[in-house]
Structure 1
Amino acid sequence: MISYYNQGTNYKLKHKRSLSNWINQVVHLENSNFSIGNINVVLCDDEYVLDINKQFLNHNYYTDIITFDYCENTLISGDLMISIDTVKSNAKEYDVPFIEELYRVIAHGVLHLLGYKDSTENEKSEMRVAENNALILLKSIIPF
Structure 2
Amino acid sequence: VQFKHVVTCEDVLQLQEDEKEVTLFRVHIDLGARWVVLPESKVEGGSEEKEEENIKAVIEATFLAEYLIEGEPGQKALDAFALKNASIHVWPYWREFLMSQSMRMNLPKVALPAVQFASNNRESAGDQD
Using the size of structure 1 for normalisation, the TM-score is 0.28
Question: Which of structures 1 and 2 has the bigger CA Rg?
Answer: 2
Point out the structure with the larger helix share.
Answer: 1
